């Protein structure tokens, strides 16, 4: 069974709409939906925002359901100039940018695990790259030109790189400077991925993640966030996973 997580209901709603034979389980104030999506047995859940919420959800998901792998999808803010709104970042490694237990451990290092970065499964990552490329080649079939123009999406691209997570909304240049100067391989920032990656590492579950860039993580962040999530990100996730599962 494939687990699919996101931080917001809107991010997986398009997936739920296509899932067949749905059964709903409620645990820990989370709704877990099992069913069949494009021929694959799946379980979908939205975790809510933040590392605690996502780690709790991932742990429940792994312990209560027989997972073969876990995929996280959702939006993120770009930290570098070349990654723009509408681009896709496929995570290679995940790091918590707000973890600091120095001087006991190095900054960003997870206590006791002696790890700073958690790498995604390389086989699943390559499969996501291929599915995303197939989607990008024909993205105008599911995203109208008018909608893309309104939300500043121009010739979206795919990037493979590191993702930083933290329990804060990054919108100030000082925050961006801290992350990029100390973690120079990071392309985008969000609030859940590294926590889920750590849980999957400890439970030895293959993990992969792709994020759709909704804004630049600065004072010019996208204003119409709800519209982007419902009109763009959810359709990206649906089409990418469709191509992934039907390959």
Least confident of 28-37, 149-158, 234-243: 149-158
Evaluate the omega torsion of the peptide bond into residue 184 and state whether it is cis, within 30 degrees of 0. Answer: no
Buried b (16+ CB within 10 A) or exposed e, 210-222: bbbbbbbbeeeeb
DSSP code string of 106-154: -TTPBTTTTBS-EEPPHHHHHHHHHHHHHHHHTGGGTS-HHHHHHTT--
Burial class (CB in 10 A: 0-12, 13-18, 19+), 145: exposed
In which element (H, E) is residue 37 found?
strand 30-37
As a whole number of angstroms, the distance between CA 52 and CA 65 comes to: 20
User: Quick check: 90 and 221 in contact, CB under 8 A?
Assistant: no
Q: What is the pLDDT of residues 136-178, one digit of tens each?
A: 998 888 887 777 887 778 889 999 999 999 998 887 888 988 9
The model's pTM is: 0.93
User: Quick check: 85 and 157 in contact, CB under 8 A?
Assistant: no
Mean pLDDT (whole number) for 68-97: 95
**Closest to 214 (Cα-Cα) out of 167, 244, 169:** 169
Q: Tally Cβ neighbours within 10 Å of residue 79.
A: 28
Provide the mean pLDDT of the chain.
91
Task: List all residues 6 or more positions away from 72 whose beta carbon is below 8 Å from its beta carbon.
Answer: 4, 5, 6, 192, 193, 196, 207, 208, 209, 210
Q: Tally Cβ neighbours within 10 Å of residue 88.
A: 24
Token pair, residue 196, equals: 């889920």
The length of the chain, given as a count of residues:
247
Q: Which domains are delineated in the chain?
A: 73-246 (3.40.50.1580)
As a whole number of angstroms, the distance between CA 73 and CA 54 comes to: 12
Q: What is the pLDDT of residues 122-136, one digit of tens each?
A: 999 999 999 999 999
User: Confidence band (pLDDT; 50, 70, 90) for 221?
Assistant: low
**What percentage of the chain has pLDDT greater than the value 70?**
97
User: Confidence band (pLDDT; 50, 70, 90) for 223?
Assistant: low
């Amino acid at each position: 069974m494939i687990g699919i997580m996101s931080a917001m209901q809107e991010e997986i709603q398009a997936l739920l709409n296509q899932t067949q034979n749905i059964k709903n389980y409620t645990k820990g104030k989370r709704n877990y939906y099992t069913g069949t999506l494009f021929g694959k047995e799946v379980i979908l859940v939205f975790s809510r925002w933040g590392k605690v919420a996502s780690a709790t959800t991932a742990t429940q998901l792994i312990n209560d359901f027989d997972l073969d792998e876990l995929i996280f999808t959702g939006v993120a803010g770009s930290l570098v100039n070349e990654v723009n709104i509408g681009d896709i970042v496929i995570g290679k490694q995940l790091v918590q940018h707000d973890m600091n237990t120095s001087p006991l451990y190095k900054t960003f290092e997870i206590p006791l695990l002696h790890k700073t970065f958690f790498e995604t499964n390389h086989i699943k990552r390559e499969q996501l790259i291929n599915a995303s490329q197939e989607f990008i080649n024909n993205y105008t079939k599911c995203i109208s030109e008018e909608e893309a123009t309104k939300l500043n999406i121009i010739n979206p691209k795919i990037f493979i790189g590191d993702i930083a997570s933290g329990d804060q909304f990054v919108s100030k240049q000082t925050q961006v400077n801290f992350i990029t100067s100390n973690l120079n391989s990071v392309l985008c920032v969000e609030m859940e991925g590294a926590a889920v990656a750590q849980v999957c590492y400890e439970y030895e579950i293959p993990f992969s993640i792709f994020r759709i860039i909704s804004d630049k993580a600065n004072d010019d962040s996208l204003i119409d966030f709800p519209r982007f999530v419902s009109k763009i990100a959810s359709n990206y996730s649906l089409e990418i996973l469709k191509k992934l599962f039907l390959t």
